[in-house]
Amino acid sequence: MLSYLFKRLAVAVPTLLVLVIVSYVLMYAAPGGPFDTERALPPEVMANLDRKYGLDQPLVVQIWRYVASIVTDFDFGPSFRYQDQTVNEIIAQGFPVTLTYGAWSFLAAVLVGVSLGIAAAVHHNTLLDYFAVGVSIGAQVLPNFVMAPILTLVFTLWLGWLPGGGWQGGEWPYLVMPVIALSTSFMASIARITRSSMLEVLNASFIRTARAKGLPRRRVVFRHALKPALLPVVSYLGPAFVGMITGSVVIDFFFATGGIGQFFVNSALNRDYPVLMGVTILAGGLTVLFNLLVDLLYAWIDPRIRY
Amino acid sequence: MTLLFGRRMFREPLPPGTGDAPAGRSLWHDARARFVRNRAAVASLVVLLLVTLFALFGDFVAAWSNEEIDWSMLGSVAENGAPSLANGHWFGVDELGRDLFARTVQGTRISLMVGIVGALISVVVGTLYGATAGYFGGRLDGVMMRVVDVLMAIPYMFVLILFMVVFGRSILMLFIGIGLVSWLDMARIARGQTLNIKHREFVEAAVAIGVRPRRIILRHIVPNLLGVVIVYATLLVPSMIIYESFISFLGLGVQEPDTSWGALINDGASQMQYGTLWQLLFPLFFFVVTLFSLFFLGDGLRDALDPNDR
C-alpha cells in the first residue's frame, strides 16, 4: 500500500510543479506589468515597486521564491489590486463558502445518483427505469450555467420561494439553488454509470448463485452486487470533483455567494495575477489530493489491484 | 482461392455483378445500415443540419444586423422588444435594442465553430499522439502517457482562463486554449486501441516487408482507429461547446460585439428580472437542442461503428 502511495505521489508532485511553473510563466509573459496605470508612474517608483515584489529578479529566481514560500509558509504572496489583502486572506475568506456548498453538492450528487442508478437497474425496463434514464439524459445538457438561470427563474422570479443570490452565513434557503445547480449534471452521470454497471453485475454468475441459494433480493443487491458495481462510480469521482471545483466558479459568479470563484472572476477581469495563480494552484492542489484519495479508495475496494 | 475457383468450375458462368456470394458488406456499409435504423440518431442529424443551416444562412434572412441598434426600442425593451413578425425582430431584441435573431445566428456560429475546431484538433493531435505512444510502447509510451496523466490532473478551466487573461480575450485564443486541452482523452483512447491492433497480422506483415514505423502508423494503424475516433469526436463536440459557453458565461470568453451561446445565456439571465424572457429562452433553446442532438448522434454512431460496445 505504501509503495503504491509513493508511486501516486510521484505523479502528483510533478503535476503541481508543472501547474505552478506554467501559470508563473504565463503571468511573466503577460503584456503589461501589474502596476501599469492610466498615468505612467516615474521609472524610479516602478523600479521600487518591482523590487518590493521581487519582480526585478530573473524568472527562475522568481519561480523558486514563489514555490519556496508556498511550500514553507503556504504563502501565495500579496494581491496586486487589493493592496491591503494577501492572496491567503482572500482565499481564507472565500474558501469556507465554496467548501460548504461544494461538499453538499458532492454528497447530493453521489447519494441521489447512486440511489437512482440502483433503483433503475433493479427495476430494469420498468417505468422507474425509463424515468431515471430520461432524467439522466436530460440533465446531461443542463450544465451548471444553464441550471442556475433556470432555477432562479422558477424559484425566485415565478414562485418567490428562494432568494436569488447571496450567502448570509450559509443559511439553507441560500444553499438550495447553488447545490442543485452544481450537482445536477454530475448526479445524472453518476446515475447513468451506476445503472449500467449494476445491470452488468446483476447478470454475473455469482449473483445467480446467490439468488439460487435463496437469499432475499435486497440482500443480494446490497451485500453482493453493490460493491463491484460501485467501482466505475469511484473512478468517476475524480473527474466529478474537478468538474465541481470548476463549476463553483459559475455558482459564485451567478449567485454572488462570495466564494473563491467570485474572486477568481474578478481578478481575471482586473488582471490580478497573484490571486488568479493562487486560486488556480489551490484548485490544482485539491484536485491532486482528491485523486490520490480516490486511487487509495479504489485500491481498497478492489483487491485485484496490486500496488 | 483454389476452392472458390473449383466450385465455380461446375457452374454456368455468371453475368458480371450478380455473384451468388452475398454482396460485399464492408464495415462502413453495415454501419450505415445500423445507423439509419436508429431513429433518434437520424432525427438528431436532421436537427443538427437545420441548426447548421441557421448558423450559415441566418444572416441572409435576418432583417437586422447583429450590431445595429434599433433606437426605437431603446428604453422600452420590456414593453416593445418582444418577438414580433411585424418589425422584423423575430426573436425580440436584447437590452441594448439589438436584434436577437441576428445575435443568435452569430452566437450559434461561434459556438458550433468552437465545437468543430476543438474536436478536429483533438482528432488530429490526440490520434497521432496516442497511436505513436501505443505503437512504440516501452519507455517512450511511459513518458508520453505520464505527460497526459499530469496534464489531465490539472483543473484546465482555471489555466484556460489564466491563459485567456494573459494573452487577451479573442476567438483565436479561445480556439488555441481549448485545442490545448481537448486532445488528452483522445490520446488515451487512441493509445488503447493501438495496443489492440498493433499485434494483428496486417501490421506484422507490414513490419515484415520493412515498412517504416511512420508509415505503419499513418497507413495501417490510424485508418483502423477511425471508427472509435469518429464516435469519440462526436461526443467531444458538445463538451467543447460547453467549455466555451462556460467561459463566455463568465464574461471571460468572446468579446462584444461577438457573442456565443454562453454569453447570450448570461445576458438573458441578467435581464430576466425585467421580464424580457425571450432573451434567455431563445439561446437556451438552441443550446439545449443542439447538445441533445449531438449526444444522440454520438450514441447512434457508437452503436453503428462499434458493435462490440453494446
pLDDT in tens, B146-174: 888 878 777 888 888 888 888 877 788 88
Question: Percentage of chain B surpassing pLDDT 70?
Answer: 89
Output Rg (C-alpha) for chain A, integer angstroms: 24
Task: Measure B66 CA to nearest chain A CA, in Å.
Answer: 23
Would you call A27 and B162 a contact, using CB atoms and an 8 Å cutoff?
Answer: yes
Would you call A153 and B242 a contact, using CB atoms and an 8 Å cutoff?
Answer: no
Using the Cα atoms of residue A164, residue A167, residue A171 and residue A172 in order, give the sign of their dihedral.
positive
Q: What is the mean pLDDT of residues B2-22?
A: 47
Q: What is the pTM of this model?
A: 0.82
Q: Domain boundaries in chain A?
A: 96-258+289-301
Chain A residues inside the 8 Å CB shell of B154: 15, 18-19, 284, 287
Q: Decide if A278 contacts A76 (C-beta within 8 A).
A: yes
Question: In 3D, which of A35, A118, A103 has the Cα closest to residue A245?
Answer: A103
Give residue A1's pLDDT band: very low, low, confident or very high (50, 70, 90): low
Would you call B159 and A23 a contact, using CB atoms and an 8 Å cutoff?
Answer: yes
A142: nearest CA partner in chain B: B288
Q: Domain boundaries in chain B?
A: 43-309
- Determine the CATH number of domain A96-258+289-301: 1.10.3720.10
Which CATH number does the domain B43-309 belong to among 3.10.20.30, 1.10.3720.10, 3.30.200.20, 3.40.50.10440?
A: 1.10.3720.10
Task: Measure B206 CA to nearest chain A CA, in Å.
Answer: 36
Question: In 3D, which of A133, A124, A132, A134 has the Cα closest to residue A203?
Answer: A124
Kindly report the average pLDDT of chain B as a whole number.
Answer: 82
List residues in chain B touching A: CB distance below 8 A: 146, 149-151, 153-155, 157-159, 161-168, 238, 242, 245-246, 249-252, 262, 265-266, 268-269, 272-273, 277, 280, 284, 287-288, 291-292, 295
pLDDT at A203: 86
∠ Cα B168 B170 B176 (to 5°)? 95
pLDDT at A277: 85
Gap between the Cα atoms of B240 and B232, Å rounded: 12
Select the highest-mean-pLDDT range: A1-10, A221-230, B2-11. A221-230
B148 Cβ neighbours under 8 A, 6+ residues apart = B129, B184, B187, B188
Q: What is the mean pLDDT of residues B27-49?
A: 85
Best mutation site among A20, A21, A146 for testing chain B: the one with the most B CBs within 10 Å? Answer: A146
Would you call B159 and A271 a contact, using CB atoms and an 8 Å cutoff?
Answer: no
ipTM of this model? 0.81
Kindly report the average pLDDT of chain A as a whole number.
Answer: 83
pLDDT at B287: 92
Of the given ranges (A4-18, A277-291, B15-29, B105-119), which has the lowest mean pLDDT? B15-29
